[in-house]
């Protein structure tokens, strides 16, 4: 495929995305270097494999074994499964949400319900697949009736997301929603003001953005998350 065809293909993908959101005009200027998904992004991420991958996969398995049948906080009482996280151990990009919902609890996989579809679509629009990124939550067990995780629960589960982050050592983390952003940035500023800028968690740049469940209720804010995603792609390419 020549570069012109590739650019047209990338532009079409970006425009389809905005069309899905109900935009008749593009809210931002797009170009191949401006964050529109490119096949270059895909191949760059795919290049990250080899010696580290096996070690990281082993370390993640060991951590999962260590969590075992965890009873460190009250969320253990109502869960069906611990949702450890999934994706590439060698991922350059990691998504961190707040906690599993009903479907995630049943399947023991993160972001597989309706909000998961929104996240999967965002990942795909970024030119990546779920298998190329890593997805986890700050609490690994479902809060009852999908309530917000409590401070003590995030504190009890905190060492696990810390260790996952250290093992994977991604180039960028995207914190999805208020609670993940609060845990990872330490800031209590509302997510609407926190998003759009990089912070740091364990030496890794963190971009807070809206939670996919919020975007389902407020689809007009999807373009803000898309702007955040563009910044993330630029940072990964550095």
Name the site residues for ligand SF4 (rule: CB under 6 A): 67, 70-73, 75-76, 82, 139-141, 153, 156-157
Report the nearest approach of ligand SF4 to the CB of residue 61 (Å): 16
Residue listed under structure tokens 């250290």: 166
User: Which residue lies nearer to ligand SF4 by CB, 75 or 96?
Assistant: 75
User: Which residue lies nearer to ligand SF4 by CB, 10 or 98?
Assistant: 98
d(CA 146, CA 165): 24
Report the nearest approach of ligand SF4 to the CB of residue 82 (Å): 5
Residue listed under structure tokens 């996919």: 212
User: Which residue lies nearer to ligand SF4 by CB, 59 or 70?
Assistant: 70
Residue 25 CB burial class (10 angstroms; 0-12, 13-18, ≥19): exposed
User: Which residue lies nearer to ligand SF4 by CB, 112 or 139?
Assistant: 139
Report the nearest approach of ligand SF4 to the CB of residue 137 (Å): 9
Residue pair 218/186 in contact by the 8 Å Cβ criterion? no
Report the nearest approach of ligand SF4 to the CB of residue 113 (Å): 18
**Where would I find the beta strands (DSSP E) of the chain?**
86-87, 93-97, 134-137, 172-176, 199-201, 204-209
């Amino acid at each position: 495929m020549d570069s012109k065809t590739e650019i047209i293909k990338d532009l079409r993908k970006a425009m389809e995305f905005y069309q899905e959101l109900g935009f008749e005009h593009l809210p931002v200027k797009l170009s191949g270097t401006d964050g529109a998904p490119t096949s270059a992004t895909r191949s760059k991420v795919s290049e990250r494999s080899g010696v580290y991958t096996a070690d990281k996969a082993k370390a993640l398995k060991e951590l999962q074994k260590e969590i075992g049948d965890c009873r460190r906080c009250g969320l253990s009482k109502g869960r069906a499964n611990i949702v450890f996280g999934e994706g590439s151990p060698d991922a350059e990009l990691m998504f961190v949400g707040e906690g599993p919902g009903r479907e995630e609890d049943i399947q023991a996989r993160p972001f597989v319900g309706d909000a998961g579809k929104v996240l999967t679509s965002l990942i795909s629009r970024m030119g990546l697949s779920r298998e190329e990124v890593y997805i986890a939550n700050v609490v690994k067990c479902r809060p009852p009736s999908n309530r917000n995780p409590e401070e003590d629960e995030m504190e009890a589960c905190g060492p696990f997301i810390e260790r996952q982050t250290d093992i994977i050592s991604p180039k960028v983390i995207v914190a999805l929603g208020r609670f993940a952003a609060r845990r990872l940035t330490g800031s209590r500023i509302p997510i609407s003001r926190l998003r759009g800028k990089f912070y740091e968690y364990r030496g890794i740049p963190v971009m807070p953005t809206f939670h996919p469940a919020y975007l389902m209720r407020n689809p007009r804010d999807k373009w803000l998350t898309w702007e955040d995603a563009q910044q993330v792609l630029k940072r990964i390419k550095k």
